[in-house]
């Protein structure tokens, strides 16, 4: 019996090469990357989130009658059969459905919730990410109201772009259509997100995608392509998708396989990404060596989309020379102050920012220098976050005012201000009515000033970074090392769970100390990086013009 190509909804958003590898019989014994603990934890959190929502919906008056739960622990055949029986019986709400496979359409898939209307069934997803932003117009109902006829434009929310959710809904609708169970006359689907307070209803035929496309049109195009890729792999035909390094590679279980192939061929995507890598291959520049041999002063040999062509050539040369950093400028400059504060924020996913770590150094302004952290150990989300943020801002403001009063200059530093700025403004928006919380205008005045220095931008503007620009990559070039060998943002998520007893365990005080040490090392790293840029980088890092 031949291999049947059956794709789940994730295939339309997945890397095309991964779809190939997943359907190539010759790759079934290839070792995959070990499971990512952080990813496994996110999956576990998503499962717990779904179960919590299911309990609320089943108990609510809107969903209490006619609620059927199909256990995900059942064998696939039994779960699918139970779903078919519930659909045939017209059960109003079916939780945990596994829809019958569509062999002709090459589809398979399960759904969190099916809701019956007068015209048939529609799918509802439960996801652990935010589905709305501040604004207006999102079509919503209350979370426990699963009747889309009750939807209305929400005055406080606008739809957040989450393309994967809409593509999943289209996939599930296609599966419902095969059995004749899909709602007739329209293509509608719902999503319940992290905040678990509303259902957002998506019209999947609405032309809300770029170019006036709908989610249905986008799905049809993508799915047809993925079926072709998978079918070629399954039948031993020439591959329709070759490996190319993209952002998704970082967490892909197939990355060891692709990395080995890309490295052996010295593929150009090791230094250039996306459309530019594809464009270079089309004109015969398929290797790092070929890119490095081009004249960086020339015009790009094809339409260039990201960054600078000159930088790309110099990055290729740096990669060949095994250099982590190359100077783009003759003299490295970083803004300095008489009084300096390094800032690093620690957050837990979308739930909030539980720690603001600060390192005070420079001239004496009457405050104790060194590291301090403003932190809440109440599990997020918590209103105690407002207290810790207000204390941080009060201390921070005191430092700035004392510096100004002394006639000195002040600078505060972070690494990639997008993260800190997000939670600076987010804290104001969420806790503006709490004592000690600054106004949005006050925060904006600071982040727009010369006092707030993003070292990530300083590095990006003055260096080419062949191995990435993360602090854990750049700071070691300045001679800095973290005390914890497992230090990293993903690992800290697990430490935080233990530190606050998030899973019902007794809070682990040793993990609190670990997080404090990790945060302290992060601000020590930015301090060390800044000092190195000021004093030594100009002589220790090769200039790109010399490569």
42, part of any domain: yes
Pair 273, 391 in one domain: no
296 and 356 together in one domain: no
Model confidence, pTM? 0.81
Q: What is the DSSP letter of 211?
A: G
- Give the domain-ending residue among 277, 295, 322: 322
Is 53 among the domain residues?
Answer: yes
291 and 380 share one domain: no
Q: Which residues pair with 192 in a beta bridge?
A: 126, 199
With H, G, I as helix, E, B as strand and everything else as coil, classify residue 316. Answer: helix
Tally Cβ neighbours within 10 Å of residue 476. Answer: 15
How far apart CA 344 and CA 519 sit, in angstroms, is 7
* Confidence at residue 70, expressed as pLDDT on a 0 to 100 scale: 94
SS3 223: helix
Residue with tokens 């770029």: 210
Query: CA-to-CA distance for 469 and 475, rounded, in angstroms?
Result: 10
Question: 70-83: b or e for each residue (b if 16 or more CB lie within 10 Å)?
Answer: beeeeeeeebbebb
Residue 138 predicted with pLDDT over 90 = yes
450: Cα within 13 Å, side-chain hemisphere: 6
- In terms of domains, do 302 and 371 share one? no
Q: Is 29 a domain residue?
A: no
Count of domains in the chain? Answer: 3
Distance of alpha carbon 328 from alpha carbon 76, whole angstroms: 57
Least confident interval from 33-37, 108-112, 486-490: 33-37
**18: DSSP letter:** H
SS3 readout for 135-175:
CCCEEEEECCCCCHHHCEEECCEEECCCHHHHHHHHHHHHH
Radius of gyration of the chain (CA): 27
Same domain, 286 and 378: no
Q: Are residues 148 and 199 in the same domain?
A: yes
- In this structure, are residues 276 and 43 in contact, taking their beta carbons and an 8 Å threshold? no
Q: Does residue 381 share a domain with residue 468? A: yes
| Range 428-435 average pLDDT | 91
Q: What is the pLDDT of residue 64?
A: 53
Give rounded-to-5 percent helix, strand, coil for the chain: 45, 20, 35
Q: Encoding tokens for residue 311? A: 């930088």
Q: Is residue 440 assigned to a domain? A: yes
What CA–CA distance (Å, rounded) separates 257 from 33?
A: 9
Determine, yes or no, domain membership for 122: yes
Whether the Cβ atoms of residue 223 and residue 171 lie closer than 8 Å to each other: yes
Q: Is residue 21 part of a domain?
A: no
Q: Is the domain of 308 the same as that of 193? A: no
Q: Which residue has the tokens 């035909």?
A: 237
User: Is residue 65 over pLDDT 90?
Assistant: no
515: in domain: yes
* 310 and 439 share one domain: no
pLDDT at 344: 97
Other CB atoms closer than 10 Å to residue 27's CB: what's the count?
14
Residues spanned by the domain of 305: 266-322
Task: Decide which of 203, 223, 245 is a domain's last residue.
Answer: 203
Same-domain check for residues 272 and 367: no
Q: What is the CATH number of the domain that holds 474?
A: 3.30.420
Domain boundary among 181, 203, 225: 203
Read off the tokens for 49: 């989130």
Mean pLDDT of 376-392: 95
Nearest to 98 by CA among 127, 118, 69, 119: 69
d(Cα 160, Cα 132) in Å, to the nearest integer?
Answer: 4
- 358 and 303 co-located in one domain: no
Residue 390 sits in the same domain as residue 494: yes
What is the mean pLDDT of the segment spanning 165-185?
94
pLDDT tens for residues 209-230?
999 999 999 999 999 999 999 9
102-128 pLDDT, tens digit each: 999 999 999 999 999 999 999 999 999
**Cβ neighbours, 10 Å, residue 480:** 19
Asked whether residue 407 is domain-assigned, the answer is yes
């Amino acid at each position: 019996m031949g291999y049947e190509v059956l794709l789940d909804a994730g295939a339309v958003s997945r890397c095309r090469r991964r779809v190939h590898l997943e359907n190539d019989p010759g790759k079934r014994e290839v070792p995959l990357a070990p499971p990512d603990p952080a990813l496994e934890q996110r999956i576990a959190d998503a499962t717990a989130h779904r179960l919590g929502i299911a309990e609320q919906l089943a108990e609510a008056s809107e969903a209490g009658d006619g609620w059927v739960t199909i256990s995900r622990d059942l064998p696939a055949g039994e779960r699918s059969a139970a779903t078919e029986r519930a659909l045939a019986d017209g059960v109003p709400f079916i939780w945990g459905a596994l829809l019958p496979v569509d062999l002709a359409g090459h589809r398979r898939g399960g759904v969190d919730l099916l809701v019956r209307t007068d015209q048939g069934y529609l799918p509802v997803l439960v996801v652990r990410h935010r589905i709305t932003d501040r604004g207006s117009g999102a079509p919503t109902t209350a979370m426990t109201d699963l009747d889309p006829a009750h939807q209305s434009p929400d005055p406080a929310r606008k739809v957040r772009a989450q393309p994967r959710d809409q593509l999943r809904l289209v996939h599930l609708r296609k599966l419902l259509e095969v059995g004749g169970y899909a709602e007739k006359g329209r293509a509608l689907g719902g999503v319940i997100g992290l905040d678990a307070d509303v259902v957002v209803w998506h019209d999947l035929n609405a032309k809300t995608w770029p170019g006036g496309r709908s989610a249905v049109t986008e799905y049809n195009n993508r799915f047809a392509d993925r079926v072709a890729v998978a079918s070629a792999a399954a039948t031993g035909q020439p591959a329709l998708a070759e490996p190319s390094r993209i952002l998704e590679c970082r967490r892909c279980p197939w990355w060891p396989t692709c990395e080995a192939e890309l490295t052996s061929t010295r593929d150009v995507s090791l230094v250039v990404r996306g459309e530019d890598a594809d464009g270079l291959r089309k004109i015969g520049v398929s290797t790092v060596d070929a890119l490095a041999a081009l004249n960086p002063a020339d015009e790009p040999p094809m339409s260039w989309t990201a960054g600078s062509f000159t930088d790309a050539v110099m990055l290729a040369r740096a990669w060949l020379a095994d250099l982590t950093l190359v100077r783009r400028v003759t003299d490295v400059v970083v803004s300095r102050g008489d009084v300096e504060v390094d800032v690093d924020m620690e957050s837990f996913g979308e739930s909030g920012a539980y720690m603001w770590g600060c390192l005070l150094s420079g001239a004496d302004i009457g405050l104790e220098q060194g590291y301090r952290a403003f932190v809440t150990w109440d599990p997020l989300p918590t209103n105690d976050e407002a207290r810790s943020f207000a204390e941080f801002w009060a201390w921070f403001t005191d430092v700035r005012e004392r510096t100004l009063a002394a006639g000195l200059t002040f600078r505060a530093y972070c690494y990639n201000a997008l993260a800190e700025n997000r939670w600076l403004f987010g804290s104001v928006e969420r806790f503006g009515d709490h004592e000690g919380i600054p106004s949005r205008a006050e925060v904006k005045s600071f982040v727009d000033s010369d006092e707030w220095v993003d070292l990530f931008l300083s590095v990006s503007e003055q260096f080419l970074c062949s191995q990435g620009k993360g602090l854990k990559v750049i700071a070691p070039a300045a001679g800095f090392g973290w005390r914890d060998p497992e230090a990293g943002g993903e690992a800290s998520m697990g430490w935080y769970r233990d530190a606050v007893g998030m899973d019902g365990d007794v809070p682990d005080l040793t993990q609190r100390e670990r997080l404090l040490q990790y945060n302290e090392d992060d601000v020590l790293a930015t301090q060390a990086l800044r000092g190195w840029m000021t004093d030594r980088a100009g002589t220790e890092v090769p200039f790109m013009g010399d490569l």
